[in-house]
Amino acid sequence: EYIKGTSYVTGSNYFKTGIYPTNKTTIELRYSFYKNENNYSNLYASSRQFLAQSTTANDTRVVALWNGELIGNMSSFNNFNAHVIKQDKNVMYFDGSVVQTCTNAEWQDENELLLFGCPGGQDASAILYYCKIWEDDILVRDFVPCYRKSDGLIGILDKVECKFYENAGTVPFEKGPNI
């Protein structure tokens, strides 16, 4: 049903997607957080685009970046329910509602998009149910949580490429119930 990132430590558990985002990239994912620590947790990131959770002892906020434009305080909530985020090119949606529209401009990211991590930043203590990535409205990744039965390795399966992606970090993910 899901995979669970278990560490905030940089490089501990994350996936490389093989995608270098552009201004025509759309990312949608269903996630939930399960920790409320004084920390920052990156659900996905490259150098020009990210989605992260900022937490204090009393509050959780979701913040994002699109080509250098910060989408701050997108949501303030004190729950750990599942939410759907969609960063459709320069428009950000939170649970189906438009949160912000950023200034549109052409750009190509020099860094690969990471799931559960950030180039040089902290990994995510979060739960991922799915992640889809489109480039110029063409679905290029359709990640679902899974594990390899032969050795029990937890990862994500891209249904577009029919390819299993292993954890690029050093700390194992936890798996949710089988479905």
Q: How confident is the model at residue 73 (pLDDT cuts 50, 70, 90)?
A: low
Smallest CA-to-CA distance from 59 within 78, 74, 45, 39 is with 78
Q: What pLDDT, on the 0 to 100 scale, is given for residue 162? A: 97
Smallest CA-to-CA distance from 135 within 103, 88, 101, 95 is with 88
Smallest CA-to-CA distance from 7 within 173, 120, 154 is with 173
Gyration radius (Cα) of the chain, Å: 15
Q: What pLDDT, on the 0 to 100 scale, is given for residue 143? A: 98
Smallest CA-to-CA distance from 71 within 62, 83, 60 is with 62
> What number is the average pLDDT over the span 133-161?
96
Q: Indicate if the pLDDT at residue 128 is higher than 80.
A: yes
Q: Are strands 15-16 and 138-147 parallel, antiparallel or unpaired?
A: unpaired
Q: How far apart are CA 40 and CA 175, in angstroms?
A: 22
Q: Indicate if the pLDDT at residue 36 is higher than 70.
A: no
pTM: 0.88
Q: What pLDDT, on the 0 to 100 scale, is given for residue 139? A: 98
Q: How far apart are CA 150 and CA 160, in angstroms?
A: 22
In one-letter notation, the amino acid at residue 87 is: Q
Q: How far apart are CA 152 and CA 160, in angstroms?
A: 22
Phi, psi of 94, rounded to the nearest 5 degrees:
-125, 115
Q: How confident is the model at residue 79 (pLDDT cuts 50, 70, 90)?
A: low
